[in-house]
Protein backbone atom coordinates (compact mmCIF):
# COMPACT_ATOMS: atom_id res chain seq x y z
CA UNK A 1 0.00 0.00 0.00
CA UNK A 2 2.88 2.36 0.82
CA UNK A 3 4.44 1.90 -2.63
CA UNK A 4 1.10 2.42 -4.37
CA UNK A 5 0.47 5.58 -2.35
CA UNK A 6 4.00 6.82 -2.98
CA UNK A 7 3.63 6.19 -6.69
CA UNK A 8 0.35 8.05 -6.76
CA UNK A 9 1.89 10.95 -4.82
CA UNK A 10 4.86 11.21 -7.18
CA UNK A 11 2.53 11.05 -10.17
CA UNK A 12 0.35 13.79 -8.69
CA UNK A 13 3.36 15.97 -7.94
CA UNK A 14 4.69 15.53 -11.47
CA UNK A 15 1.33 16.53 -12.96
CA UNK A 16 1.05 19.45 -10.56
CA UNK A 17 4.52 20.70 -11.48
CA UNK A 18 3.79 20.34 -15.19
CA UNK A 19 0.59 22.39 -14.90
CA UNK A 20 2.48 25.27 -13.30
CA UNK A 21 5.46 25.31 -15.65
CA UNK A 22 5.69 28.22 -18.09
CA UNK A 23 4.12 27.45 -21.44
CA UNK A 24 6.25 26.41 -24.38
CA UNK A 25 7.36 29.13 -26.77
CA UNK A 26 4.64 30.30 -29.14
CA UNK A 27 5.74 30.78 -32.71
CA UNK A 28 3.91 32.92 -35.21
CA UNK A 29 1.49 31.34 -37.69
CA UNK A 30 1.40 27.96 -35.91
CA UNK A 31 -2.11 28.46 -34.55
CA UNK A 32 -4.42 31.03 -33.02
CA UNK A 33 -5.27 32.35 -29.58
CA UNK A 34 -8.66 31.83 -27.95
CA UNK A 35 -9.44 34.76 -25.68
CA UNK A 36 -11.77 33.53 -22.93
CA UNK A 37 -13.66 36.34 -21.25
CA UNK A 38 -14.50 34.44 -18.07
CA UNK A 39 -17.53 34.89 -15.85
CA UNK A 40 -18.17 38.39 -14.51
CA UNK A 41 -16.82 38.77 -10.95
CA UNK A 42 -15.30 35.27 -10.92
CA UNK A 43 -11.78 36.31 -11.97
CA UNK A 44 -11.43 33.29 -14.27
CA UNK A 45 -10.44 34.96 -17.54
CA UNK A 46 -7.94 32.90 -19.53
CA UNK A 47 -6.14 32.52 -22.85
CA UNK A 48 -5.93 29.26 -24.81
CA UNK A 49 -3.97 28.38 -27.94
CA UNK A 50 -5.11 26.17 -30.83
CA UNK A 51 -2.28 24.35 -32.66
CA UNK A 52 -2.84 23.89 -36.41
CA UNK A 53 -0.58 20.86 -36.77
CA UNK A 54 -2.10 18.73 -34.03
CA UNK A 55 -5.54 20.27 -33.53
CA UNK A 56 -4.80 20.35 -29.81
CA UNK A 57 -5.58 23.26 -27.51
CA UNK A 58 -3.26 24.47 -24.76
CA UNK A 59 -5.28 26.11 -22.00
CA UNK A 60 -4.47 28.68 -19.30
CA UNK A 61 -1.40 30.17 -20.97
CA UNK A 62 -1.28 33.13 -18.62
CA UNK A 63 -1.91 31.16 -15.45
CA UNK A 64 0.70 28.52 -16.32
CA UNK A 65 3.30 31.19 -17.01
CA UNK A 66 2.56 33.43 -14.04
CA UNK A 67 0.96 31.30 -11.34
CA UNK A 68 -2.30 33.24 -11.22
CA UNK A 69 -5.17 34.12 -13.52
CA UNK A 70 -5.07 37.23 -15.68
CA UNK A 71 -8.03 38.86 -13.97
CA UNK A 72 -11.74 39.48 -14.37
CA UNK A 73 -13.43 39.68 -17.81
CA UNK A 74 -10.83 39.53 -20.56
CA UNK A 75 -12.44 41.80 -23.12
CA UNK A 76 -9.76 41.75 -25.84
CA UNK A 77 -6.19 40.80 -26.67
CA UNK A 78 -3.98 42.68 -29.12
CA UNK A 79 -0.38 42.15 -30.23
CA UNK A 80 2.16 44.89 -30.94
CA UNK A 81 5.62 43.65 -31.94
CA UNK A 82 6.67 41.08 -29.31
CA UNK A 83 4.17 42.11 -26.64
CA UNK A 84 0.60 41.07 -26.02
CA UNK A 85 -1.90 43.44 -24.44
CA UNK A 86 -4.73 41.83 -22.47
CA UNK A 87 -7.62 44.20 -21.75
CA UNK A 88 -9.18 43.16 -18.42
CA UNK A 89 -12.49 44.97 -18.32
CA UNK A 90 -13.70 44.33 -14.78
CA UNK A 91 -10.18 44.39 -13.32
CA UNK A 92 -9.61 47.89 -14.71
CA UNK A 93 -6.19 47.34 -16.27
CA UNK A 94 -4.28 46.15 -19.34
CA UNK A 95 -1.87 43.29 -18.70
CA UNK A 96 1.29 43.27 -20.84
CA UNK A 97 2.82 39.87 -21.66
CA UNK A 98 5.84 38.53 -23.53
CA UNK A 99 4.48 36.82 -26.63
CA UNK A 100 6.94 33.92 -26.55
CA UNK A 101 6.60 32.94 -22.91
CA UNK A 102 3.35 34.68 -21.94
CA UNK A 103 5.05 35.92 -18.80
CA UNK A 104 3.74 39.21 -17.43
CA UNK A 105 5.77 42.33 -18.10
CA UNK A 106 3.56 44.67 -16.11
CA UNK A 107 0.23 46.46 -15.94
CA UNK A 108 -1.06 49.59 -17.62
CA UNK A 109 -3.52 51.39 -15.36
CA UNK A 110 -5.70 52.97 -14.14
CA UNK A 111 -8.84 52.60 -16.24
CA UNK A 112 -12.45 52.60 -15.07
CA UNK A 113 -13.64 49.77 -17.30
CA UNK A 114 -11.40 49.26 -20.37
CA UNK A 115 -13.01 47.70 -23.44
CA UNK A 116 -10.86 47.71 -26.58
CA UNK A 117 -7.23 48.43 -27.42
CA UNK A 118 -5.97 49.93 -30.69
CA UNK A 119 -2.41 50.97 -31.59
CA UNK A 120 -2.63 54.21 -33.56
CA UNK A 121 1.01 55.13 -34.18
CA UNK A 122 4.52 54.13 -33.17
CA UNK A 123 4.46 53.78 -29.40
CA UNK A 124 0.88 55.04 -28.92
CA UNK A 125 -2.43 53.28 -28.44
CA UNK A 126 -6.03 54.12 -27.57
CA UNK A 127 -8.16 52.25 -25.03
CA UNK A 128 -11.94 52.65 -25.08
CA UNK A 129 -13.93 52.57 -21.85
CA UNK A 130 -17.37 51.58 -20.64
CA UNK A 131 -17.86 54.12 -17.85
CA UNK A 132 -15.49 57.05 -18.26
CA UNK A 133 -16.98 58.66 -21.42
CA UNK A 134 -13.44 58.99 -22.68
CA UNK A 135 -10.72 57.21 -24.62
CA UNK A 136 -7.42 56.85 -22.83
CA UNK A 137 -4.14 57.59 -24.62
CA UNK A 138 -1.39 55.09 -23.76
CA UNK A 139 2.37 55.42 -24.18
CA UNK A 140 3.42 51.88 -25.09
CA UNK A 141 7.11 52.49 -24.47
CA UNK A 142 6.52 53.57 -20.88
CA UNK A 143 3.38 51.52 -20.27
CA UNK A 144 1.49 54.51 -18.90
CA UNK A 145 -1.73 56.44 -19.53
CA UNK A 146 -0.64 59.86 -20.73
CA UNK A 147 -3.94 61.53 -21.56
CA UNK A 148 -7.60 61.15 -22.42
CA UNK A 149 -9.98 62.20 -25.17
CA UNK A 150 -13.41 63.19 -23.87
CA UNK A 151 -16.33 61.48 -25.62
CA UNK A 152 -20.10 62.03 -25.40
CA UNK A 153 -20.92 58.43 -24.43
CA UNK A 154 -19.54 54.97 -23.72
CA UNK A 155 -16.96 53.93 -26.34
CA UNK A 156 -16.44 50.44 -27.71
CA UNK A 157 -14.76 49.17 -30.89
CA UNK A 158 -12.30 51.23 -32.93
CA UNK A 159 -10.86 51.13 -36.44
CA UNK A 160 -8.10 53.35 -37.82
CA UNK A 161 -8.04 54.56 -41.43
CA UNK A 162 -5.27 57.00 -42.36
CA UNK A 163 -5.12 59.76 -39.73
CA UNK A 164 -8.50 59.05 -38.16
CA UNK A 165 -9.86 56.55 -35.67
CA UNK A 166 -13.54 55.66 -35.98
CA UNK A 167 -15.24 54.68 -32.73
CA UNK A 168 -18.52 52.90 -32.07
CA UNK A 169 -20.66 54.10 -29.20
CA UNK A 170 -23.34 51.65 -28.04
CA UNK A 171 -26.52 52.77 -26.38
CA UNK A 172 -26.19 53.31 -22.65
CA UNK A 173 -29.59 52.19 -21.32
CA UNK A 174 -29.41 54.93 -18.67
CA UNK A 175 -29.62 57.53 -21.47
CA UNK A 176 -31.64 58.14 -24.62
CA UNK A 177 -30.55 56.03 -27.62
CA UNK A 178 -28.22 57.65 -30.12
CA UNK A 179 -27.15 56.96 -33.68
CA UNK A 180 -23.60 58.20 -34.18
CA UNK A 181 -20.08 56.92 -34.45
CA UNK A 182 -17.23 59.26 -33.60
CA UNK A 183 -14.12 60.34 -35.46
CA UNK A 184 -10.87 61.05 -33.62
CA UNK A 185 -7.88 62.87 -35.03
CA UNK A 186 -5.21 60.31 -34.11
CA UNK A 187 -2.29 62.67 -34.67
CA UNK A 188 -3.53 65.31 -32.24
CA UNK A 189 -5.75 63.17 -29.98
CA UNK A 190 -9.04 65.03 -30.13
CA UNK A 191 -12.64 64.36 -31.14
CA UNK A 192 -12.89 65.73 -34.66
CA UNK A 193 -16.34 64.76 -35.94
CA UNK A 194 -19.29 62.38 -35.77
CA UNK A 195 -21.18 60.39 -38.40
CA UNK A 196 -24.87 59.57 -38.22
CA UNK A 197 -25.53 55.87 -38.83
CA UNK A 198 -28.15 53.59 -37.27
CA UNK A 199 -29.11 53.55 -33.61
CA UNK A 200 -26.92 51.71 -31.12
CA UNK A 201 -23.73 51.22 -33.19
CA UNK A 202 -21.76 48.41 -31.54
CA UNK A 203 -19.32 46.77 -33.97
CA UNK A 204 -17.06 47.99 -36.77
CA UNK A 205 -14.96 46.29 -39.46
CA UNK A 206 -13.02 47.40 -42.54
CA UNK A 207 -13.48 45.83 -45.97
CA UNK A 208 -10.98 45.32 -48.80
CA UNK A 209 -11.68 48.80 -50.19
CA UNK A 210 -11.01 50.51 -46.85
CA UNK A 211 -14.71 51.17 -46.34
CA UNK A 212 -16.08 50.77 -42.82
CA UNK A 213 -19.04 48.59 -41.90
CA UNK A 214 -21.01 49.36 -38.76
CA UNK A 215 -23.33 46.90 -37.01
CA UNK A 216 -26.20 48.85 -35.43
CA UNK A 217 -28.66 47.18 -33.09
CA UNK A 218 -31.40 49.75 -33.70
CA UNK A 219 -33.89 51.16 -31.19
CA UNK A 220 -37.11 49.17 -31.08
CA UNK A 221 -38.75 51.72 -28.76
CA UNK A 222 -38.34 54.33 -31.48
CA UNK A 223 -39.12 51.93 -34.35
CA UNK A 224 -35.58 52.51 -35.63
CA UNK A 225 -34.36 49.37 -37.41
CA UNK A 226 -31.18 47.44 -36.81
CA UNK A 227 -28.83 46.91 -39.72
CA UNK A 228 -25.45 47.28 -41.38
CA UNK A 229 -24.13 50.65 -42.54
CA UNK A 230 -21.21 51.24 -44.90
CA UNK A 231 -19.24 54.43 -44.24
CA UNK A 232 -16.70 56.08 -46.53
CA UNK A 233 -13.84 57.08 -44.19
CA UNK A 234 -12.64 59.75 -46.62
CA UNK A 235 -15.92 61.64 -46.96
CA UNK A 236 -17.50 60.61 -43.63
CA UNK A 237 -20.68 59.71 -45.53
CA UNK A 238 -22.91 56.64 -45.31
CA UNK A 239 -22.85 54.92 -48.71
CA UNK A 240 -25.05 51.89 -48.00
CA UNK A 241 -27.71 51.04 -45.44
CA UNK A 242 -28.86 47.43 -45.23
CA UNK A 243 -31.61 46.97 -42.67
CA UNK A 244 -32.67 43.88 -40.75
CA UNK A 245 -36.32 42.92 -40.69
CA UNK A 246 -36.43 42.38 -36.93
CA UNK A 247 -34.63 43.04 -33.66
CA UNK A 248 -33.84 39.40 -32.93
CA UNK A 249 -30.08 39.89 -32.99
CA UNK A 250 -28.85 37.74 -30.12
CA UNK A 251 -26.51 38.97 -27.41
CA UNK A 252 -23.27 39.35 -29.38
CA UNK A 253 -22.98 41.58 -32.45
CA UNK A 254 -19.91 40.42 -34.38
CA UNK A 255 -18.43 41.29 -37.78
CA UNK A 256 -15.56 39.63 -39.65
CA UNK A 257 -14.29 39.85 -43.23
CA UNK A 258 -12.60 37.19 -45.31
CA UNK A 259 -8.98 37.85 -46.31
CA UNK A 260 -10.03 39.44 -49.63
CA UNK A 261 -12.31 41.83 -47.79
CA UNK A 262 -15.21 41.18 -50.15
CA UNK A 263 -17.40 38.96 -47.97
CA UNK A 264 -18.73 40.09 -44.62
CA UNK A 265 -19.71 37.52 -42.02
CA UNK A 266 -21.99 38.73 -39.28
CA UNK A 267 -23.54 37.19 -36.20
CA UNK A 268 -27.28 37.59 -35.73
CA UNK A 269 -28.01 34.59 -33.52
CA UNK A 270 -26.94 32.53 -36.53
CA UNK A 271 -24.03 33.34 -38.86
CA UNK A 272 -24.67 35.03 -42.19
CA UNK A 273 -22.37 35.60 -45.17
CA UNK A 274 -22.89 38.77 -47.21
CA UNK A 275 -20.99 39.27 -50.46
CA UNK A 276 -20.43 43.01 -50.88
CA UNK A 277 -21.34 42.69 -54.55
CA UNK A 278 -24.87 41.66 -53.54
CA UNK A 279 -27.66 44.19 -53.32
CA UNK A 280 -29.55 42.67 -50.42
CA UNK A 281 -28.68 40.89 -47.21
CA UNK A 282 -28.96 37.09 -47.30
CA UNK A 283 -32.38 35.67 -46.48
CA UNK A 284 -31.01 32.59 -44.73
CA UNK A 285 -27.95 31.94 -42.58
CA UNK A 286 -24.78 30.19 -43.67
CA UNK A 287 -24.53 28.48 -40.27
CA UNK A 288 -27.44 27.92 -37.91
CA UNK A 289 -26.78 28.07 -34.18
CA UNK A 290 -29.17 25.15 -33.60
CA UNK A 291 -29.21 25.60 -29.84
CA UNK A 292 -25.63 26.84 -29.50
CA UNK A 293 -24.94 30.25 -27.99
CA UNK A 294 -22.70 31.82 -30.64
CA UNK A 295 -20.64 34.56 -28.99
CA UNK A 296 -17.44 35.00 -31.04
CA UNK A 297 -16.73 35.01 -34.77
CA UNK A 298 -13.60 35.35 -36.89
CA UNK A 299 -12.26 34.29 -40.27
CA UNK A 300 -8.91 32.52 -40.09
CA UNK A 301 -6.66 34.39 -42.58
CA UNK A 302 -4.48 31.30 -43.04
CA UNK A 303 -7.26 28.89 -44.02
CA UNK A 304 -10.37 30.95 -44.74
CA UNK A 305 -12.24 28.84 -42.19
CA UNK A 306 -14.77 30.40 -39.85
CA UNK A 307 -13.89 30.16 -36.17
CA UNK A 308 -16.90 30.41 -33.86
CA UNK A 309 -17.10 30.58 -30.07
CA UNK A 310 -19.99 29.08 -28.13
CA UNK A 311 -20.49 30.61 -24.66
CA UNK A 312 -23.05 27.89 -23.77
CA UNK A 313 -24.39 29.20 -20.43
CA UNK A 314 -21.65 31.77 -19.59
CA UNK A 315 -20.54 29.62 -16.63
CA UNK A 316 -19.08 26.35 -17.90
CA UNK A 317 -16.21 26.03 -20.35
CA UNK A 318 -17.24 27.00 -23.86
CA UNK A 319 -16.71 25.40 -27.24
CA UNK A 320 -14.92 26.44 -30.42
CA UNK A 321 -16.31 25.32 -33.76
CA UNK A 322 -14.28 25.42 -36.96
CA UNK A 323 -16.36 25.66 -40.13
CA UNK A 324 -15.33 25.53 -43.77
CA UNK A 325 -16.13 28.40 -46.10
CA UNK A 326 -19.36 26.72 -47.16
CA UNK A 327 -20.52 26.42 -43.57
CA UNK A 328 -19.63 22.75 -43.08
CA UNK A 329 -18.50 21.83 -39.56
CA UNK A 330 -14.89 20.62 -39.62
CA UNK A 331 -13.97 20.42 -35.95
CA UNK A 332 -15.15 21.06 -32.40
CA UNK A 333 -12.84 21.71 -29.47
CA UNK A 334 -13.03 22.97 -25.90
CA UNK A 335 -12.30 26.55 -24.86
CA UNK A 336 -12.21 28.36 -21.54
CA UNK A 337 -15.21 30.13 -20.04
CA UNK A 338 -16.92 32.39 -22.62
CA UNK A 339 -14.66 32.32 -25.70
CA UNK A 340 -15.02 35.91 -26.89
CA UNK A 341 -12.24 36.58 -29.42
CA UNK A 342 -9.78 34.78 -31.69
CA UNK A 343 -6.37 36.28 -32.34
CA UNK A 344 -4.23 35.20 -35.30
CA UNK A 345 -0.54 35.85 -34.73
At 161-215, the pLDDT tens digits run 999 999 999 988 778 889 999 999 999 999 999 999 999 999 999 999 999 999 9
Q: What is the CA radius of gyration of the chain?
A: 21
Confirm if 145 and 109 have CB atoms less than 8 A apart. yes
Average pLDDT, the chain: 93
What average pLDDT does this structure show over 6-25? 40
* pLDDT for res 2: 30
Shortest CA distance to 58 belongs to which of 333, 302, 342, 340?
Answer: 333
pLDDT band at 23 (very low <50, low <70, confident <90, very high): low
CATH class of segment(s) 110-248: mainly beta
pLDDT band at 24 (very low <50, low <70, confident <90, very high): low
Q: How far apart are CA 20 and CA 45, in angstroms?
A: 17
Q: For 222-256, what is each residue's pLDDT tens digit?
A: 999 999 999 999 999 999 999 999 999 999 999 99
- 10: how many CB neighbours lie within 10 A of its CB? 10
What average pLDDT does this structure show over 294-315? 98
* pLDDT for res 19: 40
Question: Which residue spans within 52-133 are E strands per DSSP?
Answer: 57-58, 74-80, 83-88, 93-98, 104-108, 114-121, 124-129
Confirm if 180 and 201 have CB atoms less than 8 A apart. yes
Confirm if 119 and 159 have CB atoms less than 8 A apart. no
Q: Look at residue 18 and tell me whether its pLDDT is greater than 90.
A: no
What average pLDDT does this structure show over 99-103? 95
Confirm if 89 and 127 have CB atoms less than 8 A apart. no
pLDDT band at 31 (very low <50, low <70, confident <90, very high): very high
Confirm if 198 and 250 have CB atoms less than 8 A apart. no
Which position has the higher pLDDT, 9 or 218?
218
Contacts of 134 (CB under 8 A, 6+ apart): 148, 149, 150, 151, 155
Model pTM score: 0.92
Amino acid sequence: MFFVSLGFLLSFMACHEEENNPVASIRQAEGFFIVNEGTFNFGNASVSYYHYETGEVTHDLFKNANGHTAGDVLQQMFVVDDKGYLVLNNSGYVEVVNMETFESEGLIQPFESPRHFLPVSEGKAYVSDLYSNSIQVVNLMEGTVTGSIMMPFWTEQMEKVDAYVFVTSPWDIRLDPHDQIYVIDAENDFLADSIQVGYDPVAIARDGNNKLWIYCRGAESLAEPAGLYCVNPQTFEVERSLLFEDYDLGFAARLSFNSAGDTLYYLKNDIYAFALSDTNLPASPLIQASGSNFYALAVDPATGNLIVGDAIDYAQKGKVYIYGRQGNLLETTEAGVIPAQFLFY
